[in-house]
Amino acid sequence: MEHDLEAQLRQRIAELEKENAYLKEFNELLQAQRKEYLDIICGPVKEENLLTEEQMVEMMKTRVPADEVLRDLDEILQQSGK
């Protein structure tokens, strides 16, 4: 009887160790993705995404009221759950 219990416990320990290894690997993947996304969001703008001088001039021709910009930012923040 005691031998049976010991075998069951060893089996359960093996199962938990396997699950723990999986969760560690999954956590490492999540951490890598989080770092990648943070770099995309907060990192420097890639050169191919920069506006040309002509595009900037066109944007500066159109005035947008500050309250409209702030309202848009507020909507974005609310949608992202912050």
Q: What is the number of alpha carbons within 13 Å of residue 5 lying toward its C-beta?
A: 2
Over 80: is that where the pLDDT of 80 sits? no
**Cα distance between residue 50 and residue 41, in whole Å:** 14
pLDDT in tens, 26-79: 999 999 999 999 888 888 877 888 889 998 888 888 888 889 989 988 888 888
Torsion over CA: 23, 27, 28, 30 (sign): positive
Q: Which residue has the tokens 């993705």?
A: 33
